[in-house]
Chain A
Amino acid sequence: MGDQGRLPQDEDDESGRGVGRRRFLGYVLAGPTLMVAAQLGEAALAPTEAQAAVPSLPEPADLLDLTDLLTTAASPTSGLISIQLNTDGTASFALPRAEVGQGVTTSTAMLIAEELDIPLAQVRITLADARPELLFNQFTGASNTTVSTYTPIRVAAATARQRLLAAAAVRFGVPASTLTTAAGVVSSPNGQSATYGSLAAAAASQVTVQVGVVLKQQSDFEVIGTAQKRIDALDIVTGRKQFAMDLAVPNALPTMVCRPPTLNGTPLSVQNLAAVKAMPGVTDVVIIATGVAVRAATFGQCIDAVRALQVTWGPGTEDNSSDSTLLKELKAAELPLVVPPLNLLAQTVEATFTFAFASNSALEPNCAIADVRPGRAEVWAAVKAPIVAQGAIAAKLGLLQSAVTVHVVQGGGSFGRKLFADAALEAAEISQLMGKPVKLMWHRTDEFRQGRTHPMSISHVRATHALGQVLTFEQRHASVATDFSHGLGEVITSQVAKLPVGDIGFSETIFELTQQTPYNFGVTTQLLSEVDKGFNTGSMRGIYSPNVRCAQELIVDQLAAGVGQDPYQFRRQTLKDPRAIAVLDKVAQLGSWGRTMAPGTAQGIALHPEYHSVAAILVEIDCTAATTGRQIPDACTGPRVTKVICAVDAGLAVNPLGLQAQMMGGISDGIAVALTSGMHFENGVFQEGSWDNYFYTRQWNTPPDLQIVVMPPSSGTPGGAGELAVGAAMAAVACAYARATGTMPTSFPINQAAPLAFTPLPTTPPIPQSPVDGLTRAY
């Protein structure tokens, strides 16, 4: 190699890719083997064009949705993401995002494999520690990861390939333009070849240099757009995949917290601290902000100690609230509609829908490992906003942010929960007080009783129509406040969201950027109001969309009936976006929309556009007595969705197999929030305390017939996918239920008003003892 970083191809990319195409800026970083990088963040995506029949003005979310806000926010950062080429031929990349099951490690590996021409199995993806210099660019939320990293990761990989070609050209003594790459090998026309591993050192640079690169054209893709299985699947099925609680951090003993009997109560005193400290296995007991922490040799002994603690508790934040009082608050907070209910010139369709609190708890409970020493702290946790977590931990411990290391561990699900670092903050506080490393785990009952929830809300929709056309469509959504204190993943907006005056503006901004009415319904208005900040809330695989869109789609069915049209035909004639029409047509065709159904069963059809993607779902539901009366111990049976057809257009689907998985999960969530999954809040206490109280979809609720179609690419860039199916599925199930029973449901889940199907667990002690009769249930 000549002068430091320079290889012949750095200035003039003729490396087997077309000339005259858009060039991107890559970096070759100084290092012993090839290290390449690109700037994270890219220009906003092109807006969706609105085509009006009875025209609606484009809504904010039509033009710029939350995904754009996140990618736009990303532009000014100086942080680079880098790929290292190793001498064994592998490429390593530390992804500044969280993997919580959504498959971003796999899709990221695919992007690198594509541009680098390297087998997928030779790409190693880890998760980056908190990197404050990345600012907005280390936040996993709003289905944004693939959207915002799609170009930068490919630029870095293309830079690497270009350097490898240049190094091979020097070695072979031939022009780089004559060389080709495939499966991690550079080849020349005269039969010479070199593996990437053998070129990794030669392609390295002693100084950091900028180079221009062009990317593969979409028509040349060999990996992107193909179905690829998860890169961590083997680790998962063998039990080798490590979650935070599986990590062996020296001396980080099991730790749990005795929590208050009402929501957000605080500990005042402990009567038997010494006696509990003397219990078998127990090493430490300390009072913390949220309760009393115990550390022991095993989690079983932590459970014993938590149950033995006698604590005097102060009041909680919502001791005098119940579902019924909150409903009154929400109704009082609802913003007025513009169009009057009675209109001489038009007919009115109107309803108010109530949506219960829902738990966004993952199967892996809140957990974290913390090792806090004088002057420094180290934390291991699945966090989607690690920079915010790092700042908050530093503030709590009285340390500099740079003295706190946050290792991002793969998470066992998130659904919005891991936007927050509740467990990491608690673990750090406990470790500091005890002066020892701790492995903190929340009990399942705590997850439901004290953990975050998707807030209760009401949605009031009023629409008018005349002469077969919809003239106005208004929606007022009133919700218990959603906590956006994670901001956009960095410290500045997370602080804004905490300000008493700042956050309704922030919430309204999020609402406006995410919520849209996909139909041409004339004058369309949507507004949000929020009440009550005493709850621990967060998004849940969607912020407002599942509830907002469910309410809309039920009214759409009413409007269709009002103008005498079929629900499918009515939708397709009023939809704004051809992509939405295409997915709707696909499910109607595959699902034989309109086929004759037996009494007590029906079809439902709905769609949901969000984050530059759109999904349509057709379901069939069975509401016959034989099905709703199924008896399964400690279960919620009820109506069963017997068939689901989903069609999804996510722009460019990087991994169709992973996209189908995301749709499948969203469908399970949509079925849950429509039919079975709701929390009951009474006098400061969530009644649910176990998975046999909170009825998330189980096998007996799962549709035995499910088909998910990924539409051909409709654009050159990927849209969001993680939250997309929930709104469409919830709405389709609700519409089908209305048609099967002849009554439009207005309270969700539909069984929410029925007597509790379980006996609530006691609140003192706060967690139940584990059973001892497990062997009697072996099968």
Chain B
Amino acid sequence: MSAHTFILNGAPVSVDVEDDVRLLWVLRDVLGVTGPKYGCGLGVCQACTSHINGKAFNPCSVPVSAIQPTDEITTIEGLPATVGKPLHPMQEAWLDYDVAQCGYCQPGQIMAAVAKVREARAAGHEIGDADFDEIRNICRCGTYFRIREAITAGAKNF
């Protein structure tokens, strides 16, 4: 066991856990932060998608030892605080379009959507069909079309 510190949803945290435990389990099993979901543990389904320093990543595929003390990890629980509001505009759009069905994949979908909008802008364009087609997050309820609608709407507000 060794101590690992990083910034989680705006506050520093320290955990005592083996180096190779993936961050998803540190978040869920050690820290009790359950917004990021397990869907495969293989970096495939993207249900655990969270942000590291503002970029989307899969905590299931990163050992805790790879996280630096200055790294800012944001899970769905910390997303509203990144814009200083009760809800992030993407979460508002999700509500407006009643996107969720079972809801299991939705935290990961929203975190992916926010990063995807930023990525498109960094590449010099607003998000569109070609960008949607790159989103790999599984929604087994099949609500993909509303996800596309909500991202389009949400992107207009941040």
Contacts and interface: CB of A to CB of B under 8 A. Distances in A.
Nearest to B33: A239
B42 A103 contact: no
Interface of B: 1, 17-18, 20-22, 24-26, 28-30, 32, 34-45, 47, 52, 55-63, 66, 75-77, 80, 87, 91, 94-95, 98, 100-107, 110, 115-116, 119, 129, 132-148
Given A239-B76, A690-B44, A779-B56, A230 B104 contact: no
B30 A238 contact: no
A301 B18 contact: yes
A89 interface: no
A280 interface: yes
A239 B28 CA distance: 12
B47 A363 contact: yes
Given A233-B100, A281-B18, A300-B22, A704 B58 contact: no
A774 B21 contact: no
B136 A698 contact: yes
A606 B9 CA distance: 49
A664 B39 CA distance: 22
B104 A412 contact: yes
A699 B61 contact: no
A692 interface: yes
A676 interface: no
Q: Which interface class (under 10, 10 to 19, 20 to 34, 35 or more) fits A?
A: 35 or more
A703 B39 contact: no
Contacts of A771: 42-43, 60-61
Contacts of A444: 39-42, 44-45
A233 B44 CA distance: 25
A747 B32 CA distance: 46
15 contacts: A236-B107, A239-B35, A363-B45, A364-B104, A412-B102, A443-B41, A669-B142, A698-B144, A699-B135, A702-B145, A771-B42, A771-B43, A772-B20, A773-B61, A774-B58
Nearest to B144: A702
B3 to A, nearest CB: 15
A365 B38 contact: yes
Contacts of B56: 778-779
A243 interface: yes
B54 to A, nearest CB: 9
Contact of B77 (A239, A299, A413): A239
A759 interface: no
B21 A301 contact: yes
A526 interface: no
A479 interface: no
B133 A237 contact: no
B104 A363 contact: yes
A295 to B, nearest CB: 12
B61 to A, nearest CB: 3
Q: Which 7 A-B pairs have the closest CB atoms?
A: A668-B142, A239-B35, A101-B102, A412-B104, A774-B61, A236-B103, A239-B76
A700 interface: yes
Interface of A: 100-103, 229-230, 232-243, 245-246, 248, 254, 280-281, 297-301, 303-304, 361-365, 410-413, 415, 441, 443-444, 632, 634, 657, 661, 664-669, 672, 690-692, 696-700, 702-704, 706, 768, 770-775, 777-779
Nearest to A662: B101
Q: Which of A238, A657, A669 gathers most chain B CB within 10 Å?
A: A238
Contacts of A365: 38-39
Nearest to B96: A229
A691 B110 CA distance: 20
B63 to A, nearest CB: 5
A248 B33 CA distance: 11
Given A101-B102, A241-B103, A363-B139, A699 B47 contact: no
Given A238-B76, A779-B55, 18 more contacts: A233-B100, A239-B107, A298-B21, A298-B25, A299-B41, A300-B20, A303-B41, A363-B47, A365-B39, A412-B105, A413-B140, A441-B38, A444-B44, A661-B146, A699-B136, A770-B61, A772-B62, A779-B116
A1 to B, nearest CB: 43
Given A237-B94, A239-B34, A778-B57, A668 B144 contact: yes
Nearest to B41: A770
Nearest to A697: B142
B130 to A, nearest CB: 10
B138 A777 contact: no
B29 A297 contact: yes
Nearest to A441: B38
A722 B107 CA distance: 23
Nearest to B36: A239
Contacts of A768: 42
Given A665-B141, A770-B22, A412 B103 contact: yes
A254 B29 contact: yes
A209 to B, nearest CB: 40
A664 B149 CA distance: 13
Given A239-B34, A300-B25, A690 B42 contact: yes
B135 to A, nearest CB: 5
Given A363-B45, A700-B133, A280 B61 contact: no
A444 to B, nearest CB: 4
A665 B21 contact: no
Contacts of B139: 363, 668
Contacts of A101: 101-104, 141
Nearest to B95: A233
B145 A703 contact: yes
Contacts of A775: 52, 57, 62, 66
Contacts of B21: 281, 298, 300-301
B100 A770 contact: no
A665 B57 contact: no
B16 to A, nearest CB: 11
Nearest to B55: A778
Contacts of A704: 129, 148
A413 B103 CA distance: 8
A697 B40 contact: no
B18 A280 contact: yes
Nearest to A299: B25
B143 A661 contact: yes
B129 A103 contact: no
A411 B102 contact: yes
A770 B42 contact: yes
B40 A691 contact: yes
Contact of B104 (A102, A243, A669, A772): A243
Contacts of A298: 17, 21, 25-26, 29-30
B56 to A, nearest CB: 5
B121 to A, nearest CB: 12
B40 A236 contact: no
Nearest to A657: B98
Given A300-B25, A774-B62, A691 B44 contact: yes
A237 B45 contact: no
B76 A234 contact: no
Contacts of A634: 44
A246 B38 CA distance: 10
A768 B18 CA distance: 19
Contacts of A666: 142
A241 B107 CA distance: 10
Contacts of B141: 101, 363, 413, 665, 668
Contacts of A240: 35
B43 A665 contact: no
A778 B52 contact: yes
Contact of B143 (A243, A632, A665, A778): A665
Contacts of A668: 139, 141-144
A664 B100 CA distance: 12
Contacts of A778: 52, 55-57
Contacts of B52: 775, 778
A230 B98 contact: yes
Given A100-B102, A233-B95, A697 B59 contact: no
B100 A230 contact: yes
Q: Which of A101, A230, A280, A692 gathers most chain B CB within 10 Å?
A: A101
B76 A702 contact: no
